[in-house]
Amino acid sequence: MKLLKIALVVAVMLVNLVIAQPSWADKPKFSKNPDYIEVTKTIKSLQKNAEVVVPEDVQRQIDELQFQKAAIESGVTWGQCRNETGETLGIYGPLGEDSKSSYNNQLYFLANDQTTPDGWDCQGVYLPSDVQVAGLDKTDATAVKIMDGTQLLVKKNSDTSEWEFNVPSAKVVNPDKMNWFIPHISQAFVDSRIPSTLASGEND
């Protein structure tokens, strides 16, 4: 009888280990990603603030954020940028191997009609002082950060000459909180730079 009880306890423990997810199991890595946390919070906030019928523009933002969330969950830890401004685009990416910079990332130059390679982490876009961006009130040079999993398209509106982003989640960089290099230069100076060579998979 005693052996039968012991065997029963062992059997229950084995079944529990096989079927039930261990409580001590690590959470998926993406759940600790700051961009994933930010995306999830923004989605919840938009859904909470929306009325019973979600406005079309809010629903589009939710759909785009859901796409970014899914990208991060699938293991995509890099952003991608495409330039359709008709000019050279300043973008931020990982520091080079030999870099001695004190900043957290590096400024690169992306030619018109070019896209950063898969696996290369485009972290944001530099906006010169004389460039106007739709929906962004700025008087000086600034930068915007994009979340992991974002596929950012920057293009110029032919009617207004403003630059436009295809995603609503780009955030203006606060230089007091984020260690990014934001020079005070014009778009003409950026256009005079030779586009950077970005090797595919640098951030894998």
Are residue 128 and residue 177 in the same domain, yes or no? yes
Question: What domain count does the chain have?
Answer: 2
7 pLDDT exceeds 80?
Answer: no
Give the pLDDT score at 177.
87
- 49, 93: one domain: no
Tell me, yes or no, whether 38 and 128 share the same domain.
no
Of 76, 103, 133, the residue that ends a domain is 76
Express each pLDDT in 16-66 by its tens digit.
Answer: 554 544 444 455 566 666 666 776 777 777 767 666 666 776 777 777 777
Angle between helices 56-73 and 34-49 (to 10 degrees): 150
What was the pLDDT predicted at 14? 52
Helices and strands in the chain, H and E counts: 4, 8
* Residue 132: inside a domain: yes
Angle at 55 between CA 53 and CA 56, to 5 degrees: 125
- Alpha helices, DSSP H, located in the chain: 2-19, 34-49, 56-73, 187-191
Q: Are residues 130 and 183 in the same domain?
A: yes
122 domain residue, yes or no? yes
pLDDT at 24: 43
Of 76, 109, 138, the residue at which a domain comes to its end is 76
- What pLDDT does 35 receive? 67
Q: What pLDDT, on the 0 to 100 scale, is given for residue 121? A: 95
Residues 6+ apart with CB under 8 A from 171: 144, 145
Query: Is 19 among the domain residues?
Result: no
* Per-residue pLDDT tens over the stretch 80-106: 999 999 999 999 999 988 888 899 999
pLDDT of amino acid 130: 94
pLDDT of residue 60: 73
Q: Residues 177, 120: one domain?
A: yes
Query: Do 70 and 96 have their domain in common?
Result: no
pLDDT recorded at residue 203: 44
Q: How far is CA 18 from CA 10, 13, 25, 47, 74, in A?
A: 12, 9, 13, 37, 25
Domain contains 70: yes
Q: Do 59 and 130 have their domain in common?
A: no
The residue from 48, 76, 104 where one domain ends is 76
The pLDDT value given to residue 50: 64
What residues pair up with 151 in beta bridges, in sequence order?
A: 80
Clarify whether residues 52 and 142 are in a common domain.
no
Residues 176, 82: one domain? yes
- Whether residue 2 lies inside any domain: the answer is no
- Domain containing 119: what range? 78-198
| Position 45 in a domain | yes
Indicate if 105 and 153 belong to the same structural domain.
yes
Instruction: Report pTM.
Output: 0.69
CB 105 within 8 A of CB 95: yes
Same domain, 123 and 168: yes
Residue range 157-193, pLDDT digits in tens: 999 999 999 887 678 998 888 999 999 999 999 999 9
Q: Are residues 47 and 125 in the same domain?
A: no
Question: Does the residue 53 lie in any domain?
Answer: yes
138 contacts: CB under 8 Å, gap ≥ 6: 127, 132, 172
